[in-house]
Copies of this chain bind each other. A is one copy, B any other.
Amino acid sequence: MTVRFGLLGAGRIGKVHARAVGSNPQAKLVAVADAFEKAAKELAASYGAEVRSIEAIEKAADIDAVIICTPTDTHADLIERFARAGKAIFCEKPIDLDVKRVEKCLAVVDKTKAALMVGFNRRFDPHFAAVRKAIDDGAVGKVEQVVITSRDPGAPPVDYIKRSGGIFRDMTIHDFDMARFLLGEEPVAVSAHASVLVDKKIGEAGDFDSVSVILETASGKQAVISNSRRATYGYDQRIEVHGSKGMVAAENQRPVSIEVASEKGYVRPPLHDFFMTRYIDAYANEIATFIEATTTGKKASPSGKDGLIALKIADAALKSAKQGKTIRLDK
């Protein structure tokens, strides 16, 4: 079976997903929709696809699945529409910035029994996936503590930040999902500290740029997350999982792994400077997983519920940071 795709949104992440579809022998890109027609046309042309309206894709008999890469505030509506249209749905995170809206959307998904997968791409990074596999293989025994480092090369434009839902819902949410993925148990309490240390304008926009978070599960497992919107040396993404038998860690990825030694010491080039090059394999594996799930009828993961829980943790973290107190998630 070949999965026939409609792509909603032809921006930079849309292009990444189009390439993943195009290079997968079990998938075909049939149609592209974008409010900006030139972008849609160019992307469609590269893969022998057509430009269609969202409505046309909704009704098309030759489309099995859609990938939603439109602006965040359209995600929930589109999920509902395509769930009702009987299409398999891959939606970029987040479903929505408002928990209530997400819950309403997921109710529609449940009722229509639509297949919905949410784009937490990092689970599909080969190195992070290998960490999860090492845990499953018993390499570290029972998981006890998770340490996640996540630092971006630079802050996005303040305009983006204003409509991003803030650092916890936009950036740390990936780490909340990763913590859940690795802990294997739901967090029940969150303590977060958040500051503006990188750029005052971020603070003026009502957001933070430097945060530290502890999550704790019912059995006492802990995850520690540290985030910054700026890392001069590149995209700093590391995880460590400590358990009863040992530790497993995934180190940073480097575009070029050479080292120059001189009287100044030993110098290695900076890390990747862009999340799309850093996670290029992760995006391809993510879409391959969605295609596989669509083909076999297996439940796609991470699910809408995974998206919802990560958002609830983000909301709690924000409340914790603002009120200066630990927030319980189980109350």
Contacts and interface: CB of A to CB of B under 8 A. Distances in A.
Given A191-B191, A228-B242, A233-B246, A255 B126 contact: yes
Give the size range of A's interface with the partner.
35 or more
A70 to B, nearest CB: 26
Contact of A326 (B23, B221, B325): B325
Contacts of A220: 195-197, 210
9 contacts: A130-B258, A130-B269, A144-B228, A197-B221, A212-B222, A228-B242, A249-B259, A250-B257, A251-B257
A259 B247 CA distance: 8
Contacts of A189: 193, 324
Interface stretch (A52-60, A103-111, A260-268): A260-268
A134 interface: yes
- Identical copies of this chain, number: 4
Contacts of A300: none
A278 interface: no
A149 interface: yes
A195 B212 contact: no
A298 interface: no
Interface of A: 23, 25, 46, 126-127, 130-131, 134, 139-140, 142, 144-145, 147, 149, 151, 189, 191, 193, 195-198, 210-214, 216, 219-222, 224, 226, 228, 230-233, 236, 242, 244-251, 253, 255-270, 320, 324-326, 328
Contacts of A269: 130, 265-266
Contacts of A219: 195
A144 B226 CA distance: 11
A115 B262 CA distance: 40
Contacts of A236: 247
Nearest to A324: B326
Given A126-B256, A189-B324, A263-B232, A224 B222 contact: no
Contacts of A145: 197, 210, 212, 226, 228
Contacts of A261: 231-233, 246-249, 270
A316 to B, nearest CB: 13
Contacts of A196: 220
Contact of A268 (B230, B244, B266, B325): B266
Given A189-B324, A226-B224, A257-B250, A266 B233 contact: yes
A260 B232 contact: no
Contacts of A230: 244
